[in-house]
């Protein structure tokens, strides 16, 4: 396992950005939110990008982001919830860093994303969209080196768990 970066994966609303910011701070590393990176690169918001270029174009930006961001070191990366769907991305994540999956129940996710207009895949009936996508993505995050349930811990405790795991894996090799 590479310890050069931390890659946070997980469904929308599992707290990847919040936890990633805290973990980067504790490690003295750089936090990068992949969606923000894509918005800057594309010059469009995520909803604009989906509307004007389509989801496939967004997924291409996502692959490019991972290629570029995981070629370096010392980064904590919050990936978008669908970034794990491409095998190429999963391989790159596993080779590029400690992959940490954050989980939460459907109800907690719905609460966290309910009023969000920035996620094109959740527009309409949020509860139905979350349920359908969670089902479609069942098992999609299971390839992580470490899985942390975000409902039993505060974001700070989740970040501490990640830092501890990273340091323990450095000592054991």
By the criterion CB under 6 A, which residues form the site for ligand S3P?
12, 16, 35, 46, 80-82, 119-121
Neighbours of 109 (CB within 10 A): 26
Number of neighbours of residue 157 by Cβ within 10 angstroms:
14
Closer residue to ligand S3P (CB): 121 or 146: 121
Residue 54 CB, shortest distance to ligand S3P, in Å, is 12
- Which one, 28 or 62, has the nearer CB to ligand S3P? 62
CB of 121 to ligand S3P, least distance (A): 5
Task: State the Cα–Cα distance between residues 82 and 127, nearest whole angstrom.
Answer: 18
What distances in angstroms separate CA 87 from CA 17, 82, 84, 145, one per listed residue? 23, 11, 7, 16
Tokens describing residue 104: 């939460």
Residue of minimal Cβ distance to ligand S3P: 80
CB 7 → ligand S3P: shortest distance, Å? 13
Nearer to ligand S3P (CB atom), residue 12 or residue 76:
12
C-alpha 106/C-alpha 85 separation (Å) is 19
Query: Closest approach of Cβ 72 to ligand S3P, in Å?
Result: 21
């Amino acid at each position: 396992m590479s310890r050069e970066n931390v890659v946070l994966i997980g469904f929308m609303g599992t707290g990847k950005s919040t936890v990633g910011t805290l973990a980067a701070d504790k490690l003295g590393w750089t936090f990068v939110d992949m969606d923000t990176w894509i918005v800057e690169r594309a010059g469009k918001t995520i909803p604009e990008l989906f509307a004007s270029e389509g989801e496939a174009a967004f997924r291409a930006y996502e692959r490019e982001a991972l290629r570029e961001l995981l070629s370096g070191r010392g980064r904590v990366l919050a990936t978008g919830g669908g970034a794990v769907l491409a095998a190429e991305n999963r391989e790159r994540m596993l080779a590029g860093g400690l992959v940490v999956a954050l989980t939460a129940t459907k109800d907690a996710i719905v609460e966290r994303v309910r009023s969000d207009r920035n996620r094109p895949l959740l527009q309409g009936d949020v509860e139905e969209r979350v349920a359908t996508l969670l089902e479609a993505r069942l098992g999609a995050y299971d390839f992580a080196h470490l899985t942390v349930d975000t409902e039993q811990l505060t974001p700070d405790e989740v970040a501490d768990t990640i830092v501890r795991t990273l340091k323990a894996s450095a000592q054991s090799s």
